[in-house]
């Protein structure tokens, strides 16, 4: 009986940690240079798993081909999207993309779609010349998104 009383707090702590990592917050490591200059290879991020209200320019982590990718949301469900002469057009209107590096001309019709489907998002890396993103893999499903990140654990600080 004394043994159970001794380990009981440790069991509770372990359960709480597992629940937090599963449903609320978890660390993620950036792999590669597709998010340069915003994020660097090896940077340790804190992923918010509970926030499912995705907005334009949020940085998300999602599952793709048995790996986790880190990209920025550019297009939302129901929108048209085009880059022309380095300028982002959403639904035919110019949208300032302060995170973009040089972006080659692109339009959704290059992927044989006209509008981003419901429950899908168009994501891109900030290092547009070195990013496998929705221009290649197509829009990603909302269900594949693990969460949003806006805080780096190492180096410590908030992310733009």
pLDDT in tens, 48-101: 998 889 999 999 999 999 999 999 999 999 999 999 999 999 999 999 999 887
Question: What pTM was computed for the model?
Answer: 0.90
Catalytic residue from among 31, 52, 67, 71: 71
Position 100 scores a pLDDT of 80
Residue, of 122 and 99, whose pLDDT is higher: 122
Q: Which residues pair with 22 in a beta bridge?
A: none
Residue 40, φ and ψ in degrees, nearest 5: -110, 155
Task: Tell me the percentage of the chain whose pLDDT exceeds 90.
Answer: 71
> Tokens in use for 33?
């240079």
141 membership: H or E segment, kind and range: strand 140-141
Q: How far apart are CA 133 and CA 59, in angstroms?
A: 13
C-alpha pair distances (Å), 1 with each of 10, 44, 125, 132 = 15, 42, 56, 57
Please determine, looking at this structure, whether the domain spanning 2-158 carries the CATH number 3.40.50.720.
Answer: no
The residue from 5, 31, 34, 152 that is catalytic is: 34
Instruction: Answer yes or no: 104 catalytic.
Output: no
């Amino acid at each position: 009986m004394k043994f159970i009383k001794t380990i009981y707090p440790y069991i509770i702590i372990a359960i709480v940690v597992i629940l937090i990592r599963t449903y609320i917050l978890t660390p993620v490591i950036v792999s590669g240079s597709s998010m340069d200059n915003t994020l660097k290879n090896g940077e340790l991020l804190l992923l918010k798993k509970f926030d499912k209200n995705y907005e334009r320019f949020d940085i998300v982590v999602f599952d793709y081909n048995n790996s986790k990718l880190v990209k920025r949301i550019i297009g939302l469900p129901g929108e048209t999207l085009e880059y022309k002469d380095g300028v982002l057009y959403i639904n035919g209107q110019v949208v300032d993309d302060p995170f973009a590096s040089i972006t080659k001309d692109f339009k959704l019709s290059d992927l044989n779609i006209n509008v981003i489907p419901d429950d899908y998002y168009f994501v891109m890396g900030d290092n547009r010349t070195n990013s496998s993103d929705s221009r290649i893999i197509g829009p990603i499903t909302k269900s594949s998104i693990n969460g949003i990140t806006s805080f780096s654990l190492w180096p410590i600080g908030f992310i733009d």
